[in-house]
Amino acid sequence: MQKTIYRLSLAGISALAIASNAQAICTNPTVFTDTGANAAGINNTVTQFSDALGQLNPFEPGSVGNGRRSINWDAAPDNVSAPNAFPGNFFNADFSPRARGIEFTTPGNGFQLSATDASGVGVEFANINPTYPGQFTVFSAERLFTAIDSNIINARFFVPGGNTPAISSGFGAVFTDVDQNDSTSIEFFDENGNSFAVMPVQSSSSGLSFLGVTYDAPCISRVRIVSGDTPPGVDDSNNADVVVMDDFIFGEPVENPTPPPFVINLGLVGAWFNPATPGQGFLFDLLTDNRQFIFITWFTFTEDGELLWFTARGNYNGNSATLELVEASGGFFNQPTQATQTVVGTVTITFNDCLNGTIDFEIIDRNLNGSIPITRIAGDQICQLIVDGDVVIPGEVSQ
């Protein structure tokens, strides 16, 4: 219906960009946009966008360097569909067919896929609001995708099946029931993590809207999708445009040669451990304002099986800190007697991302040294949201 395919000049991009001081690395965008009452109404444009990206690759771990991958949500099982939560990392598993190379975060309360008719839960998010099947329709039957308690989804690319940050040459998504022309958009971030363009999605009440953008080469590290102007829950109306999504199609993720450096943030506070050595681990506390301070406790055992714990404290820089390792001894249970603090070596903590880090240690008087991979015990709640700019910690230094 409203089918448009056009190439934007760089001047056109900067007119759309909100971060106008960011240098656009992605060049020669081609925008594919269309609306229709049903799948047939936009299918030609979706196909042209898909063909522009190249062949559909198998959903296997690793990158094949070109072509495309896609998600239609439809084969996902009931246990990750409404009314159950859908994990944001579901489509970056290290096995086929879930190795798509894309992970989702939201400042809301997770995600949901709509249920199948056979499940009895109600299609098209009738479980959230019984009027929604009258508003939404599908591009690929039957499942749709949404964030919960938010209209924002960040989608980040990885070399499929792993933690290696990746970039893509294009991203497109199908939306349903975009009632307002200014309610729904896709924002693009380059390989350095800078926003360079925000593209609006055309409205199509009770129908489907498609927006896809391709670039000359892989350059998109993530996209930020704003779907409607209100989270799912309320009735859809002129004052509350609820929008959900169907198919995502994107250029084959390839390793990002210049990923933005990870910087320690307050979301890393908590309990970490090496899954290979359960029963021992680390607690971190942080001051991420201009004090840039980290406090580490390390609970472990001696080679004879006695309890042993260390502490370290001091300044960090960027994503790591190298500190004196202190062993406490001579204290008594619940007594004010001061324990003796003895420097016994050094420890370096390095955070690779919100869920992975490394402890390198040298304990001189015990003649021990090595490297311990660590991950969060309880998972991440806000670290990635801080990285994405969805949560701002007052006073936090981000460089």
Residues that bind Ca ion (CB under 5 A): 72-74, 135, 140, 143, 177, 179, 205, 236, 241-242, 246
Smallest gap, in angstroms, from Cβ of residue 234 to Ca ion? 11
Q: Which is nearer to Ca ion, 74 or 285 (CB)?
A: 74
Q: Which is nearer to Ca ion, 118 or 378 (CB)?
A: 118
Smallest gap, in angstroms, from Cβ of residue 68 to Ca ion? 17
Smallest gap, in angstroms, from Cβ of residue 108 to Ca ion? 17
Q: Which is nearer to Ca ion, 63 or 114 (CB)?
A: 114
Smallest gap, in angstroms, from Cβ of residue 206 to Ca ion? 6
Q: Which is nearer to Ca ion, 125 or 215 (CB)?
A: 125
Q: How far apart are CA 363 and CA 220, in angstroms?
A: 43
Smallest gap, in angstroms, from Cβ of residue 398 to Ca ion? 35
Q: Which is nearer to Ca ion, 241 or 380 (CB)?
A: 241
Q: Which is nearer to Ca ion, 34 or 179 (CB)?
A: 179
Smallest gap, in angstroms, from Cβ of residue 141 to Ca ion? 6
Smallest gap, in angstroms, from Cβ of residue 143 to Ca ion? 5
Secondary structure of the chain as H, E, C letters = CCCEEEECCHHHHHHHCCCCCCCCCCCCCEEEEEEECCHHHHHHHHHHHHHHHCCECCCCCCCCCCCEEEECCCCCCHHHCCCCCECCCCCECCCCCCECCEEEECCCCCEEECECHHHCCCECCCCCCCCHHHCCCCCCCCCCEEECCCCEEEEEEECCCCCCEEEECEEEEEEEEECCCCCCEEEEECCCCCEEEEEECCCEEEEEEEEEEECCCCCECEEEEECECCCECECCECCECECEEEEEEEECCEECCCCCCCCCCHHHCEEEECCCCCCCEEEEEEECCCCCEEEEEEEEECCCCCEEEEEEEEECECCEEEEEEEEEECCCCCCCCCCEEEEEEEEEEEECCCCEEEEEEEECCCCEEEEEEEEECCCCCCHHHHHCCCCCCCCCCCC
Q: Which is nearer to Ca ion, 129 or 135 (CB)?
A: 135
Q: Which is nearer to Ca ion, 242 or 349 (CB)?
A: 242
Smallest gap, in angstroms, from Cβ of residue 45 to Ca ion? 17
